[in-house]
Amino acid sequence: MTDTPTPKPGKVLVPAEDLRTFGAALLEKGGLSPEHARTTAEVFVWAAQRGVDSHGTARIPAYLELLAKGVANAEPDIKLESSTPAAAVLDADRAPGPVALTAAAEEAVTRARTTGIATVGVRHTVHTGAIGYYVSKIAEQGLVGIGFVAGMPNMGYTGVKGAAVATSPLAIAVPAESHAPLLLDMATATIALGKIRQAKASGTPLPEGAAATADGTPTTDPALAVMPLPLGGVKGSGMSLAFELLTSVLVGAPIFAAFHSDDPQGRKHRQNALLIAIDPAAFGDAEDFTAAVDATLSTLKALPAADDAAGVFYPGERSAAVAVERAETGVPVAPKVWRELLESAEKLGVTPPELP
């Protein structure tokens, strides 16, 4: 996820709370419990409010399909395993990512209040959604949140033919005193798969070094591109491999090795994650910490802006401002996505919200 400017006009504007209620109703009809449906819809609307449409309400029809096909478990038996106060593993039993990772974030915060630092691994979940949401929830409690995710290989690896590793994301949220929290939320890919699909549909050439053909040959032709290339070449591919070790391998649910084996089950869709909560109070005065974060961010913003820059911004600042604006004006939903939501509503017998 990256900071996104206010979207183009022409989209359907839906009040945020109405969109949450509508999304939750659809997901509940899709099989989730009321609590899990609300949690999942909350993650989607959070992303949409911040202008990250790829992780927003456009995901709801896809999740309904995952539930209908049984890829996502509508009634998961989620279990927490722990042998030490500062660490735990949450077995999601193929629960939707928003359900599993929200629970993991809450658990990490609870443990970190006692231990100073706590980590919760998540295994066997299905599509984590916007990982920035979970670390942001940790930051809302005054703690630093760090998260990693590993998924199915869909990205090139330097020196390898074809898809080798996943576009595994990293997110860090740091609370501040008066500024919006710093939120760094990035994938290890140069470009998102969704951007490749959009370029394919519009025929727009892709940036150099952003995507590749099936055999790993870099291309700017969207008609030939099938996968993204790692961010920074060896840096992005190395980070993705490291995240596989820090999540999948650490929690005993390897994805990479199984995917590239002869076992057909190795290609069964799944994701793993690791969330870390750090309590600043374990290192000194928590108020002094957030005040120093504020001073750091203010210092950055006071630096001279480049001639062609709109200003100096820290990670998450602009998307936080977009979220505030959209809380007042409504969340823009692309016409195609709105049609898909209405079609799902008609099929499932859900009444859509009345638009202003």
Which residues participate in catalysis according to the annotation? Answer: 127
The SS3 of residue 195 is: helix
As a whole number of angstroms, the distance between CA 253 and CA 221 comes to 36
How far, CA to CA in Å, does 186 sit from each of 2, 3, 10, 223, 343?
A: 7, 10, 28, 25, 32
Closest CA to 105 of 93, 122, 92: 122
54, two tokens:
């790829």
Distance CA 101, CA 305 (A): 38
Pairing verdict, β 144-150 and 271-278: antiparallel
Q: Is the dihedral of CA 111, 112, 117, 119 positive or negative?
A: positive
Q: Which position has the token pair 């997110």? A: 171
State the Rg of the chain over Cα: 20
What's phi and psi for 311, nearest 5 deg?
160, 180
From the number of C-beta atoms within 10 Å of its C-beta (0-12, 13-18, 19+), residue 242 rates as middle
Select from 43, 59, 35, 194 the least CA-distant residue to 105: 43
- SS3 (DSSP) at 218: strand
